[in-house]
Amino acid sequence: MKILTWILRIAAAAILLQTLYFKFTAAPESVFIFSTLGIEPYGRIGSGIAELIASILLLIPRTTLLGAITGMGVMAGAILSHLLFLGVEVQNDGGTLFILAIITFICCALLFFQNRKEIPNLLKFKI
C-alpha cells in the first residue's frame, strides 16, 4: 500500500510540477489558454502557485491530504475549463493537457480517499 501511495503522490506532483515551466515563463500555449479564459496573466500565475503548493504538500506525508484537496480543486478547474471553454484538444495537443488533468485529479482523489480519516484533524484548531 505504501508503494501505491508514493506512486500516486509522485505521479500527481510530477504532472503538476512539469506545467510550472510553461506557466511561469509565459509560454505561448499557456498564455493562449489563460487568454481564452479571460484571466491572463493573473490566472496563469495564480494557478501555477496553487499547483506548486499542491505538489509540495502531496510529497510530504503529513500534508498529503491537504495536497490532495488542493490538487483536486485546481484540476477540477482545469477539467471544467476544458469542457466548458477550451475543448478537450487545445492547439492540436491531441487532448494531452485534458488527459493529464484527469490523471492528476484521479491520483489526488485516491490520495484523498486513502487519507480521509485525517479530515477531523484538519478541523481541529491548535495553537
Structure confidence at residue 125 (pLDDT): 74
Mean of pLDDT values over 43-61: 98
Q: Which band of pLDDT confidence, cut at 50, 70 and 90, is reported for residue 106? A: very high
Rounded CA separation 114/110 (Å): 6
Which residue in the block uniquely carries the three cell numbers 495553537?
A: 127
pTM summary value = 0.95
Give per-residue pLDDT as tens, 14-33. 999 999 999 999 999 999 99
- The answer to whether 31 touches 44, Cβ cutoff 8 Å, is yes
Nearest to 112 by CA among 52, 71, 53: 71
For the chain, give the mean pLDDT: 96
